[in-house]
Each structure stands twice: as C-alpha cells, then as structure tokens.
Amino acid sequence: MKKFFALLLCFNFSLAFAQISLDSSNFPLAGISYNRFISIGGLVGNSGANQLYDFSNTMVWLNDTVRYINPAATPYASYHPGASVATVVPGNGVMQIWYYTSDANAFWMSGVTLIGDFGLGFTISHANHPLPYTDTLVSKDYTYGHVETEISGIRFQNIYPGIDYQTVSGKYIVCDGYGTLYAPLDTFLNVLRVKYIEYKFDTVFSNSVPVDAKKDTLYFLQGIRHPVLIAHTDKVDQVQYIEALVMPDVLNGCTDTSAQNYNPIANQNDGSCIYCNQIPYSISSDTSICAGDTIALNASGATNFLWSTGDIVSNIFVNPDSTQTYSVYMNYQTYCWQIASVNVSVYEDVQAGFWPDMTNSNDGDTILFVNTSTNATNYFWDFGDSTTNTVKNPRHLYLSAGSKTVMLIAGNSCSADTFYMTFTFSGIEGFSASDFRFQVDPNPFSETATLRISNPGKLQMEEVELTIYDMIGKQVHPGIIRNSDSFVISGGNLLQGIYFVRMKVRDAIYQQKIVKM
C-alpha cells in the first residue's frame, strides 16, 4: 500500500497539502520510544511548498531505538534540576546523557552528563545551559517561513585537572519547506522541513576558532514526538548520513482498556470505543411450583435476550422436574451484556414421620415430639387428647395416663402425608405396662450395656421389637428379642453421644435414653 501511494504521488505532482505548524504534540515525552535506523544516501531536496523529499533509495546499515526516559531513572538527575526528559547516547569511548526541558512554547536541551576517559582516566562531568543560552530542538513557532537565530553555550568544569571546557554555538534555524517525504521504509505525508545551521566555538580544542558549520535538516510530522528523519549534511548540503524513524503500521480500533471493545493490537484509536451502562432490567422473582407444572419466566428492559435454555425471547415457559436456576443474558447495544437469574424450586412429595422423646421432659410428663418428616413446610398435630399444634417439633403435656394415638399431617403446597403412632403413657412413672418393664445398665457406658426386661412371663417374646436410634432419628440397630429377658448393647460400632433405645410391645412403645462414652 505504501509503494502504491508513493507511485500515485509521483504521477500527480499537483496534489497539495495544508501547511502545518508544530505544537506541543511534537515535543518528546518520558516513556516514549521509536525504532530508528541509520542510513547512507539521499538528497535534502528543495525549499518551498508541496515538495517531494526522496530518501527511498538509501542503504540501511544500523538499527536501534530512540528512547526518552524520566530523568529520575538516571543516576545524575540531581545535577540537572528542572529536566523533564532524558536520553542516553553512547559514543566512541564516551557516554552522553542529554537532559531536556520544555514548556508550552518549546522543547530544548538544558544539560548533559559526560561519562568516559578524556585522556586522564575515567571522568564524570556535568554541565547545564545557562538561560537564555538554550539549545532548541522544536518550537511551537516552527511553521513554513519561520526564521530565527539563537546562541547556546555550555561549560564543563575540571574536565581536565584545573581546565574547564566550554562551547558556544550560534544556530540559524529556518523552516523552509513542506511536502511529502519518502523514507527507505515509510512514506510520510505533509512533513515540515526545518534546517539547522550551527557554528560552534570550542575554547579548548579549537583555540576559540569556529569549526566548520554543522548542518542538519530535520523533517517533522504533526503529532510525532521526534523528527521522522534527520539528514546530517556537510557545509554544501551533501548528505553524510540520515537517521529515520520506522513507524509501525497503523491499526485502527479502540485503544481504551476500560472500553468493552478494547482492541489490544490497535495502535490508533478510531473513536469506536463502547462504554456500557447498567441495564434497567426486571426479571421474574424466585418461585416454587409443583412437580409436573409449567411456569412462565419473564425478563424485560433490554433489546436482546439469551436464556440458559437456549431461548432468545423475553418470555419463556419451563417445567423442571427438580429445582433449577435459569439465567438470561440481556443487552441493548453491541458488546453490552448483563446477566440475571431466577430460581424455580420444585416441591417434592412429603413423607411424614416422628418419634416421642420422653427423656427430654422437664417435669416427667411433658413429651417432645421429634419431627422426622421430609420435604414438608407445614404441620398439623393431633395428640389424641382433643388438643392440636402446628409447630414443627412441639412439646405436649398429657393430663392423664393411658394409651395415646398421635397423628401428624405434614405437607407442602403440592402434597401431604399422614403418620400415626400409638403408645402407652403413665405419667411421671414413665412408660410401663402391668406385665412389662425394661432398664439399661450401666448408663452411661463405654464398651457394652445390658438391657434387662422384668416381668416377661405373661408376654410372648416374639412380640418384643428392639430398635436403637441416634439424636436425629437415624436407626443404628434393629433387633428382635427371642426367648430372653436380656439383650447386650455393644458400643463398638457406636460413636460417642446420646442414643434412644425403643421397645415396641404389641401396639405400645417404650423408650429410654442411653449415653455412649
């Protein structure tokens, strides 16, 4: 594309460009860098408007990088107060660190540090340009037709023992042309040509005699913070060598990392960045349904919808067979998506159950009914003495002894189940029958305990059923007593804690708490 554009310009010399003026967007900043190559050949071209400056056939022989850094990153910033940018320039045996300062009007060299051997061993020397003697690199006044002169000077003290080194330069600056620049690897449209002609007086090495004129021709492009090409010439404008920037290909896109469509490979912002706002959406509330039912879910406030079911409409119908969470992505503009969710609980079938705990009574005849129902949300108790309750685990005080039949109806919004239990209650004496009693000894126990039945003579032992439960109603030992009035409870398979021994004789239930140590 660059070569095609260059050919197009060659056949259309009447193409004109707007005259450019440089400003602070051309001033170097700390942290920027440019790939640069050194090349031989080319012509500086002519002065005037709409010129063609052709360096396309030069030979590239060195490549490096121009870096502008924070002065604080150098070890000698304290010697150059006020500097805002620095750059390191390696030399033949001597390293130079240049320090620059700028304001809204210009960018100039304010000082330099020299590091090397000047003939008497390793030396570090610092010097600054005293105002108003400055060495301007670029000014906001640089526009086609601008001309100025300036004097700059700098003094290194004790560069040799007892000897100072001072240079004074007279610089003539003229902005004498603009047009198109063909660099060896790039084409730059609408560049401004700035010529520097500098005469230097050297108080040590040249005995105050001016050296030959040093000429540099710089080509600036608006917005680039370094000359895109510098042609170093002799006093008759013959190019000795050039320094040219290698500009990366322009990739347009969103370069703001906070935008939704940030493009990490873009190097030029094209104004396409998208920033998302909160979507004022609404969605169905969490709900519960019966198994087999169908329910409608609704989302609104956006333009596009994508449900976890795959549906792409705002309203969907679902009939889950178990509790599910449904999510929906919503958006109202490209890249701007927001997620919301609704939980649909499915009621499962209820299974009612309970057992009476006499061991936790406070006054001997108050019974705690431990509810073991599953999937239930509401309860109705009938204690068999014309009293009822609706709490999950009620306590009940019987006013008379005798056989009691308790009913529990457990339910939820979709199903219900009923559970009955009959037992004999004898008040503060505990559970008993005229022909049956039992006790566990020792209690608490660690290894084994013995359950003994008294007065079994009138009972058929096949009718006695033994079961052991833990605190949450889980059965840990089922058993049937056969032809014996005792039963050994082994603690080897039981964890430490509280258990309940329950004896069922015919339709009556007898229970005692035991403790495994």
**Cα–Cα distance between 364 and 512 in angstroms, integer?**
13
Q: E strand or H helix at 2, and its extent?
A: helix 2-10
Give whole-number Cα distances, 164 to 19, 103, 252, 370, in Å.
Answer: 45, 30, 53, 103
Give whole-number Cα distances, 28 to 78, 137, 386, in Å.
Answer: 21, 10, 96
Question: Are residues 365 and 398 in contact, defined by beta-carbon separation less than 8 angstroms?
Answer: yes
**Cα–Cα distance between 185 and 162 in angstroms, integer?**
49
Question: Are residues 182 and 156 in contact, defined by beta-carbon separation less than 8 angstroms?
Answer: no
- Give residue 457's pLDDT: 53
What band does 459 get if pLDDT is binned at 50, 70 and 90?
low
Whether the predicted pLDDT of 299 surpasses 60 = yes
* Global model pTM greater than 0.75: no
Q: What mean pLDDT is predicted for residues 491-513?
A: 73
Question: Are residues 335 and 274 in contact, defined by beta-carbon separation less than 8 angstroms?
Answer: yes
Whether the predicted pLDDT of 12 surpasses 50 = no
Question: Are residues 475 and 467 in contact, defined by beta-carbon separation less than 8 angstroms?
Answer: yes
- Give residue 426's pLDDT: 58
- Give residue 13's pLDDT: 39
**Cα–Cα distance between 221 and 18 in angstroms, integer?**
12
What band does 343 get if pLDDT is binned at 50, 70 and 90?
very high
pLDDT tens per residue, range 387-410: 889 999 998 877 777 788 899 999
- The widest CA-to-CA distance across the chain, in whole angstroms, is 141
- Where is pLDDT greater, at 460 or 419? 419
- Give residue 363's pLDDT: 43
Identity (one letter) of the amino acid at 410? A
What band does 204 get if pLDDT is binned at 50, 70 and 90?
low
